[in-house]
Chain A
């Protein structure tokens, strides 16, 4: 029985979830959409962010969002390091596409198994004063554990949008995406620009991970569900368009929430991968293709 209340609640939850999906997908939108680096390991770095937030919360009682912000520079450094290895081993030799993909697949596996060894397969949660609370607008219930990630996710998206469109470095990153050869003719070094961009992409994973563990309990193998989600969002959003990423994330969030509500949660994951398959087969340039 489909009631209006249930429908409204599902759509609201979907929109809130969508804002969070945007935060998770930003790293892929930059790495895959703008830099052509198929970082299939991005979700596992989000997972790493979750476990950092978990550890800091458990040991020092630190707020997850604060942890996310504090660790963004650390993740940025991690991203820069990863890109340098990637550049030296693959991109410079012009062998990046498939072997690079296998490389990131291996990284995914290493990080996941390391998390498994360190934390085990049990689900881990986080404690913060506002996580359990909620309020109502008419018949629609809004939970803080969804609202906060959505607000932070949208804010992160906005900040990145401003960075890419207004600052010198942001524009340089867009220039690399458009024509890295022309950039070289202008006397700029694409390697240095990509260095910053990829660092930034992994940097977003610290905060996204903190949001993930706020929404619900996490376990190391969970990153695999997010591979489908982030690539669906990135492809649907038009590969590197930040605004498109947000819209695509909201669409996916609502689609998943409706499916979970009316067909059962076990079908939720299939939606994102189904959307991804459909998008790849029908319109690979996405809704807002360049």
Chain B
């Protein structure tokens, strides 16, 4: 997609979201759409590190929870407005991302992935033992009843998350087209070779981990006002790790479109399954779909479509000498 076309679509999506809040009144749809959009942000953020750079991160809950808990602290401390919560959550999660980036100096491949999982558990233990945010019992918050210009606060949160989703996708889109994206792809294919060719691998990895962390923190920051009750087991839920990894895997990890397709499909399916079947069963479904895709179609839906759409003649020509 070209630059101005992308911009037009982005603006149109936000405008459409705003228009919907004028028409639709059923609060359930905003609650459900919020979750799907949150997954768009998380999946896109995961993909910047996992898909573009090839570092598989199991620690999504750590970043998400850090964003959420930053917001909780700010609400309890100074009753900070949502804008401040977002900025602070992004900064704190971004710093954790930066630290994770330095970890890649020593740990690669599976060791990195295991370390990210460890990171999430260590952080969870710290929040379980931190009394200020309610410890293991958690803490409840009072959501403002209304937001200026919006009928209800949930509608406002929905529009905020829509804006964040567009921001995340635009970031991924921009990275993909800039020299950063090409550098990250070089790291993914062969880190040593990239380093030898003069690609500043450390700097690029730090960019990837920090941007990924910032976006995950942004996704987590509005969460306290969305659920109005925050406790360690729910924000550090492994489901965030599985979903943010399964969605890009299912959609396709090499383009910005993959995570969006995966998040919208899988996220919507889960919302429907939660209502119509049961929440445990829909998680089972996610696991099965993830395993099926990783075995049968590792390039995801985008890759499948590209492979099928490419004319046969071109395929044979490419495979020739």
**A binding-site residues for B, Cβ under 8 Å:** 38, 40, 85, 89, 95, 97-99, 101-103, 105-107, 109-110, 113-114, 116-117, 221, 224-225, 227-228, 231, 264, 266-267, 269-270, 273-274, 276-277, 280-281, 284
> How far is A109 from B282 in the complex, measured between Cα atoms in Å?
12
- From B109, B238, B249, B280, A116 is in contact (CB under 8 Å) with B280
**B binding-site residues for A, Cβ under 8 Å:** 54, 56, 58, 103, 106-107, 109-111, 113-115, 117-119, 121-122, 125-126, 128-129, 136, 238, 242, 245-246, 249, 280-281, 283-284, 286-288, 290-291, 294-295, 298
Q: Give the distance to chain A from B63, nearest Cβ to Cβ, in Å.
A: 16
- From B110, B128, B242, A109 is in contact (CB under 8 Å) with B242
Chain B residues lying within 8 Å of A95, measured Cβ to Cβ, are: 298
B295–A117 contact, CB under 8 A? no
> How far is A40 from B109 in the complex, measured between Cα atoms in Å?
14
Q: Which residue of B lies closest to A121 (CB)?
A: B280
Chain A residues lying within 8 Å of B128, measured Cβ to Cβ, are: 266
A101–B56 contact, CB under 8 A? yes
Q: Which residue of A lies closest to B241 (CB)?
A: A105
Known: A106-B246, A267-B125. 18 other contacts (CB 8 A): A40-B117, A85-B295, A97-B110, A98-B109, A103-B294, A107-B291, A113-B287, A221-B238, A224-B121, A227-B117, A228-B118, A228-B121, A269-B125, A270-B126, A273-B118, A274-B118, A277-B115, A277-B122
Can you list 13 A-B contacts (CB < 8 A)?
A98-B56, A99-B298, A101-B56, A110-B284, A227-B114, A266-B125, A269-B121, A273-B122, A280-B107, A280-B115, A280-B118, A284-B107, A284-B111
Q: Which residue of B lies closest to A278 (CB)?
A: B118
A266–B136 contact, CB under 8 A? yes
Chain A residues lying within 8 Å of B294, measured Cβ to Cβ, are: 89, 99, 102-103, 106
Chain A residues lying within 8 Å of B115, measured Cβ to Cβ, are: 276-277, 280-281
> How far is A241 from B287 in the complex, measured between Cα atoms in Å?
33
A109–B121 contact, CB under 8 A? no
- From B110, B118, B126, B136, A276 is in contact (CB under 8 Å) with B118
> How far is A106 from B247 in the complex, measured between Cα atoms in Å?
12
> How far is A98 from B290 in the complex, measured between Cα atoms in Å?
14
Q: Which residue of A lies closest to B103 (CB)?
A: A281
> How far is A105 from B281 in the complex, measured between Cα atoms in Å?
17
Q: Give the distance to chain B from A82, nearest Cβ to Cβ, in Å.
A: 11
Instruction: Report, nearest first, the 5 A-B pairs whose CB atoms are least far apart.
Output: A270-B125, A109-B287, A106-B291, A110-B287, A273-B118
A103–B111 contact, CB under 8 A? no
Chain B residues lying within 8 Å of A281, measured Cβ to Cβ, are: 103, 106-107, 115
> How far is A107 from B242 in the complex, measured between Cα atoms in Å?
11
Q: Give the distance to chain B from A96, nearest Cβ to Cβ, in Å.
A: 10
> How far is A284 from B106 in the complex, measured between Cα atoms in Å?
9
Chain B residues lying within 8 Å of A228, measured Cβ to Cβ, are: 117-118, 121
Q: How many A-B residue pairs have CB under 8 A?
A: 113
Chain A residues lying within 8 Å of B113, measured Cβ to Cβ, are: 38, 98, 101
Chain A residues lying within 8 Å of B290, measured Cβ to Cβ, are: 102, 105-106, 109
Chain A residues lying within 8 Å of B280, measured Cβ to Cβ, are: 113, 116-117
A277–B118 contact, CB under 8 A? yes
- From A101, A103, A225, B291 is in contact (CB under 8 Å) with A103
Chain B residues lying within 8 Å of A107, measured Cβ to Cβ, are: 287, 291
B287–A106 contact, CB under 8 A? yes
> How far is A264 from B118 in the complex, measured between Cα atoms in Å?
20
Q: Which residue of B lies closest to A109 (CB)?
A: B287
B110–A98 contact, CB under 8 A? yes
> How far is A38 from B110 in the complex, measured between Cα atoms in Å?
7
> How far is A231 from B110 in the complex, measured between Cα atoms in Å?
11
Given A103-B295, A113-B280, A117-B281, A270 and B122 touching (CB < 8 A)?
yes
- From B103, B121, B136, B284, A113 is in contact (CB under 8 Å) with B284
Most buried by B among A85, A99, A102: A102
Q: Which residue of A lies closest to B282 (CB)?
A: A113
> How far is A107 from B113 in the complex, measured between Cα atoms in Å?
16
B284–A277 contact, CB under 8 A? no
- From A85, A102, A106, A110, B56 is in contact (CB under 8 Å) with A102
> How far is A107 from B111 in the complex, measured between Cα atoms in Å?
19
B249–A102 contact, CB under 8 A? yes
Q: Give the distance to chain A from B58, nearest Cβ to Cβ, in Å.
A: 7
Q: Give the distance to chain A from B46, nearest Cβ to Cβ, in Å.
A: 12
Q: Which residue of A lies closest to B245 (CB)?
A: A102
Q: Give the distance to chain B from A177, nearest Cβ to Cβ, in Å.
A: 16
Q: Give the distance to chain A from B170, nearest Cβ to Cβ, in Å.
A: 27
Q: Give the distance to chain B from A53, nearest Cβ to Cβ, in Å.
A: 23
Chain A residues lying within 8 Å of B126, measured Cβ to Cβ, are: 270
Given A102-B245, A273-B118, A274-B122, A280 and B284 touching (CB < 8 A)?
no
Most buried by A among B54, B111, B114, B287: B114
Q: Give the distance to chain A from B109, nearest Cβ to Cβ, in Å.
A: 5
Chain B residues lying within 8 Å of A227, measured Cβ to Cβ, are: 114, 117
Q: Give the distance to chain B from A247, nearest Cβ to Cβ, in Å.
A: 20
> How far is A281 from B107 in the complex, measured between Cα atoms in Å?
7
Chain B residues lying within 8 Å of A116, measured Cβ to Cβ, are: 280
Chain B residues lying within 8 Å of A221, measured Cβ to Cβ, are: 238
Given A231-B114, A281-B106, A110 and B291 touching (CB < 8 A)?
yes
B118–A105 contact, CB under 8 A? no
Chain B residues lying within 8 Å of A103, measured Cβ to Cβ, are: 291, 294-295
Chain B residues lying within 8 Å of A38, measured Cβ to Cβ, are: 110, 113-114
> How far is A102 from B109 in the complex, measured between Cα atoms in Å?
12
